[in-house]
A and B are shown apart, each in its own frame.
Chain A
Amino acid sequence: MTGKKKYETWPGKNHIFCHGRLMAGGGSRGWFWFTHVLFIIPAVLFSVDVCPWLAREISPAVVVIFAWLTLACVVFFYMAAFSDPGITPRQATRPKKRGPSILKIDVNGVRLKMKFCETCNIYRPPRTSHCSVCDNCIDRFDHHCPWIGNCIGKRNYHLFLLFVFTITIQCFYVLSFSLVKIVFMATKDGRSGIDSFTYIWADSPLVIPIALFMFIVTILVCSLASFHLFLIATGQTTYEKLKKVYKTQQNPFTKGPLMNFVHLLFQPWSPAYIHLLDEDETTRVTTENATSAVPVIDSLEVIS
C-alpha cells in the first residue's frame, strides 16, 4: 500500500493546484487576480479602440508587435507565478540537539552568519531567507510578490525580471501609440483647442481614459523596473536592501553592474529540490501496521 504524495502532505503554506502539478506561493490569491484585471482591461480597450486605427493609418506591424508583447507579458507572468523559486526542503530533525543558533563562515573573505531556521531545521546558507507568507526557506530570497502570488528567489528571479521589463516596454508602447492617436485626431483637418477634444470625445472616447490610465501604470512599472536595475547594479536582493545588510558590510557577491545583470538574466538552469508528485515516504503504510488497521473480528461480542 502506498501512502500519500508529497503535495498532499506539504508542510508549507503554498497553494497547490492540479493535483500537485502547479504550485504557487502562500497568502491571499486576491492580488494575483487583481493583476489580471489591471492588465486585461487596458489591453482589451486598446485592442478594440486603437489597434484597428493603427493598422489602417500606420501599419499592421504595429499591432503585431503589440500582440507579441502582450503574449510575452502573459507567458512570463504565469511562468514567474507558478515556478519553484528555490524552496529548500525541510529537514525532519535538528542537525545537532544543542547546536549554536548562528554559524559563522567566510565567503570571499567576508564574514557571514548562517542562522538556524526553527521551522525548516536547517542552517540557512548565505542569501537564503525564510518567507513567512509561504512558510519556506527560499534560496537567494528576493521578496514575496503578492501581485504574482509567489516568492521570487534564485530559480525564478530571471522570469520576474523578464516580466517586469516586458511589461514596462508594453506599457510604454501602449501609452505612446494611444498618444499618437490622440495627437493625430486632435490635429486632423487643422483642428485645435476645444474642437480637437470634442472630436476625439465623439469619435473615439476610450482613447483618453486609456492614455490617462497607462500614464499612471507606466510610471509605476517604470519605478519598479528602475529599482530592480539598481539592485542588479549593486548585486543585492530586495530583502538585503530592505534589511540594509550591505550598509556597513562589504558585499561579497557582486561582480560589477554589467556582469551582475548578465549573470542574473541568463543564469544557467538549476534543479528544483521539491518534487510534489513523489511519494511521501513518511506516510508509507508497511505490512506491519497494515494488519493493525484491519479490525479484529474475533474480539467482537456476538449479539444474539
Chain B
Amino acid sequence: MVEVVVERNYTDGIITRFQDAFPEQIPDKSFSSQWTTFITQLNQMFSEAETFSYVCVLEGLLSALTLYSLPLFYETKAKKKFKEIREFLDTSNKTIFSPKGMELCDPFANGLLFLKIIVHNGAR
C-alpha cells in the first residue's frame, strides 16, 4: 500500500490550490489525463468557493444587520459551493480512483493541507 501526498500550491497566496503535477508515486501512468482533469476542476471549484464578489458583500452585510439570523434560513453561496466540492470529491473517488484501485482521502479532515491518495496493492 502506497500513500501519495499532493501538497498545496501557495504561489498565488493562501487561496486553496493543490499542486497539479501528476504524482510520480502513482504506478498507473495512463491515469495522467484523468488526474489533470480532476485536479484542474478541483482547483477551479475551490477558487469559485473562495472568490470574493458583490454577492459576498451583500450576504455579509445582510447577515450582520440581521444579527446572523439570516444564515438560519438562507444558505450562502460559499456554503453551497463547498457542498458541491464535497460531492465532487465523493463522486471522483467512486468513478475515477476506485476503478484504478486507489482511494482518495477526505482533504477536509486534514484541514485542506494536502490531498492523500492511497494506492492499494495490485493497482495497475
Contact = CB atoms under 8 A, between A and B. Distances in A.
A291 B5 CA distance: 37
Contact of B13 (A89, A95, A122, A252): A252
A107 B11 contact: yes
A108 B79 contact: no
Contact of B8 (A125, A269, A273): A125
A105 interface: yes
Nearest to B83: A271
A264 to B, nearest CB: 10
B98 interface: no
Interface stretch (A21-29, A71-79, A144-152): A71-79
Interface stretch (B20-28, B37-45, B48-56): B48-56
Given A71-B67, A266-B56, A268-B50, A106 B11 contact: yes
Interface in A59-80: 71-72, 75-76, 79
B121 interface: no
B76 A269 contact: yes
Contact of B10 (A75, A88, A126, A273): A126
A265 B5 CA distance: 34
Interface of B: 5, 8, 10-14, 49-52, 56-57, 59-61, 64, 67-68, 76-79, 82, 108-113
27 contacts: A72-B67, A76-B67, A88-B113, A89-B110, A95-B5, A105-B10, A106-B11, A107-B10, A108-B11, A112-B10, A122-B111, A122-B113, A125-B14, A126-B10, A126-B14, A127-B14, A253-B14, A266-B57, A266-B61, A268-B51, A268-B76, A269-B78, A270-B50, A270-B82, A271-B82, A273-B109, A273-B111
